[in-house]
Amino acid sequence: MTGVSTEDNGDGDPRRAIELLWGVSAPPRRGPKPKLSTADVVRAAVTLADADGIEAVTIRGVAEHLGVSPMSLYTYVPGRAELLDLMIDHVHGELPAPAAGLGWRAALTGIAENLWALFHAHPWLLQVTTSRSALGPHSFAKYENELRAVEGIGLDDVEMDAVVSLVTGLVRTTARSSLDNARLVRTSGLTDAQWWERAAPVLAGIPAADAAHYPISSRVGQAAGEAHNAAENPAYTFRFGLARVLDGIEALVSERQR
C-alpha cells in the first residue's frame, strides 16, 4: 500500500455493475471476437492494486498493463467505479468457507483470521469504502458465511448483523494499523526499535517528559514496548480484541439461554 488515502466507491452505475458481477449477458456485438474477457481485466487491475495501491488502477493504467488501448477496455467495463466493484468481489472469492462442524466461536475466529490475511494480501481493500459496493456472488457468500457462524445461537437478526460488523470492523481497524506500521518501516528505513533508540535519549534529556510526571504511561509503555519490541503490535491487539469481543457475545448468549 503506497498511500493511506481512502476512496469512496459506489458512484458508478449499480445496474451495470450488478449485471457484470452476476454474469448477466449483454446483447452480442458484431465484429471480431474480443481478445480479452472481463475476468482478464479484473485480474490485471488486482495485480496493479496489489503492487502499487488503488491509485494505480486507472483505465489507462490497466490498459497499458494488458497491452491494449484505453478505449478498448470500455468493451469490458463501463468505467473505473464498476471495475472497483468487480475487484472487491474477485478477492472476496479467495476467502474460504468455515469448516463444517465448528462451534460459533471457532467459526468466527476463523473468519476473522482469514479476513486479516486477505487484507494483508490485498492492502488496497482498506483504501476503498465498501458500504455501497454492488454485491456480487463472492461478497454475498462472504456475508452468508459470516452470518451462518452465529445462526441459531440466540441472537436476533439485527444482533447477528451487528456481531458480524463488530468482528469485521475490528479486523479492518487493526489490519490498517499493521499495514501502516509496515509502510512506515519501508519508507523510513527504521524499525520501531531503531526509531525509539534515537528518540529515547532526547526524551530523557527533557525534565518535563520525566517518568515522574507520567508514571502510569511510562510504566505501561515500557512494559508493552518490551513485550512487543515495538510501540504497538497490531496483530496482538487484533487477537486480544477478538477474544474479548467473543467473550462479550458468549456472555450475552449464555444470559439468553438462562
Site of grid cell 494505480: 56
Q: What is the pLDDT of residues 135-182, one digit of tens each?
A: 899 999 999 999 999 999 999 999 999 999 999 999 999 999 999 999
Any idea what DSSP says for residue 191? -
- Sorting pLDDT into bands at 50, 70 and 90, what band is 27? low
pLDDT digits (tens, 9 = 90+) for 103-117: 999 999 999 999 999
- The grid cell for 200 is 529515547
Q: What is the mean pLDDT of the chain?
A: 90
7-92 folds as Arc Repressor Mutant, subunit A (1.10.10)
In the chain, which segments carry CATH 1.10.357.10? 104-257
Three-class SS of residue 8? strand
- Cα gap 56→183, rounded to integer Å: 17
Nearest to 126 by CA among 43, 49, 69: 49
**DSSP result, 37-99:** -HHHHHHHHHHHHHHH-GGG--HHHHHHHHTS-HHHHTTT-S-HHHHHHHHHHHHHTTSPPPP
CATH fit for domain 104-257, picks 3.40.50.10190, 1.10.357.10, 1.10.150.20, 1.10.10.10: 1.10.357.10
